Structure 1
Amino acid sequence: MTKKEQQYKCLYHLPLQVKCFNSSILKAADGFKRLLPNLDVVIGYVTAFYALSLTLMLV
């Protein structure tokens, strides 16, 4: 497996894991009424979309 394929595999799984984490954090956000869970959600989705864009660039 080449280094590029390894990067692709790693970056492919990162957005999926972050999305699952964010889905569980949304319950703790209590309808976006609590600050820290909201920041976790925003940072998580930014990370997920960034990793997804890197994955699409490798394809």
Structure 2
Amino acid sequence: MYIAAICLEWQNQIRFSALLILKKQTLNVSLAQGNSFFLKKLGARFCRSIYKICGNYHKS
């Protein structure tokens, strides 16, 4: 009985998280359509900085 209750609680948590993620994704999609140029520039800069960090990490 107790384990079943825990499983149910987990299922509810996961379902809630999935809903939140879906909401965020739809928000991100509308943002991307509005500011795609800005987001692409920001994304490229972000990728480059991640790449630099990873490159430096691999060198050391």
User: Normalising TM by the smaller chain, what interval?
Assistant: 0.3 to 0.5
Q: Relative contact order (C-alpha < 8 Å, sep 6+): which is higher?
A: 1
What TM-score does the superposition give when structure 2 sets the normalisation length? 0.45
Considering fraction of residues, name the structure with more helix: 2
Q: Which is higher, the Rg of structure 1 or of structure 2?
A: 2
